[in-house]
Amino acid sequence: MSKIFLVGMMGSGKTTCAKKWAGAVNANAYDLDALIEEEEGCTISGIFAQKGEDYFRKKESELLRTFAQKDNFILATGGGAPCYYDNMQWMNEHGTTIWLNVSSGVLFSRLKHAREHRPLLRSLDDDALKEFINKKMAEREAFYSQAQHIFTDKEITKKHFKKLFDNDDK
């Protein structure tokens, strides 16, 4: 049974990879941000604006814990999820964790075109975005590095992902 949690910075590809990789392990793809939006009937940006980040973090942690009752999934978490409450420890205790460890240059090139839906990035110009990425990576690395598996840029492929679980079929 696969219980897989993808963690990493905004723009590392968690949402994209969960969808692309789910089939490789016959699992269902979920996205924590999408589940929060569904439950709140509001976009992530709207939740941040109307209820604040603390409220969002609480919801995020609560919804994460509903995965204790699920099986056969690959969950794309939000970039901040491992860094609040004891979420990272919880994920490590309940499944397999993978850190998509993408370099800051690649994150910048992706995020500069994808600021709109990310409330923490919205108001940043290019220089401020670069600074934000470096600062957040430094702060969050202590959490992300607790993941059981670490994929660096070139390893972030379906083939590399599938290899991790090949033994499960035998």
Ligand X SMILES: Nc1ncnc2c1ncn2[C@@H]1O[C@H](COP(=O)(O)OP(=O)(O)O)[C@@H](O)[C@H]1O
Ligand Y SMILES: O=C(O)C1=C[C@@H](OP(=O)(O)O)[C@@H](O)[C@H](O)C1
Ligand-binding annotation for 15, yes or no, is yes
Q: Which does 114 bind (CB under 5 to 8 A by kind): ligand X, Mg ion, ligand Y, none?
A: ligand X
Interface residue with ligand X among 13, 80, 82, 95 (CB under 6 A) is 13
Q: What angle in degrees, to the nearest 10, is found between the helix axes of 53-65 and 44-51?
A: 130
Q: What angle in degrees, to the nearest 10, is found between the helix axes of 158-165 and 14-21?
A: 60
Cα separation, 110 vs 104, whole angstroms? 10
Told to check if 44 binds ligand X by CB under 6 A, we report no
Q: Do 134 and 108 contact (CB within 8 A), yes or no? A: no
Ligand-binding annotation for 126, yes or no, is no
Chain residues in the site for Mg ion (CB under 5 A): 14-15
Q: Which does 119 bind (CB under 5 to 8 A by kind): Mg ion, ligand X, ligand Y, none?
A: ligand Y
Closest CA to 15 of 119, 94, 100, 92: 100
Told to check if 119 binds ligand Y by CB under 6 A, we report yes
Q: Binders of ligand Y among 63-82, rule CB under 6 A?
A: 78-80
Q: Do 102 and 151 contact (CB within 8 A), yes or no? A: no
Ligand-binding annotation for 79, yes or no, is yes
Query: Tokens at residue 63, please?
Result: 């919804």
Q: Which does 147 bind (CB under 5 to 8 A by kind): ligand Y, ligand X, Mg ion, none?
A: none
Stretch that binds ligand Y, among 62-70, 86-94, 116-124, 148-156 (CB under 6 A): 116-124
Told to check if 120 binds ligand Y by CB under 6 A, we report yes
Burial class from Cβ neighbours inside 10 Å (0-12, 13-18, 19+) for residue 19 reads: middle
Told to check if 140 binds ligand X by CB under 6 A, we report no
What residues make contact with ligand X under the rule CB under 6 A?
8, 10-16, 76, 110, 114, 156
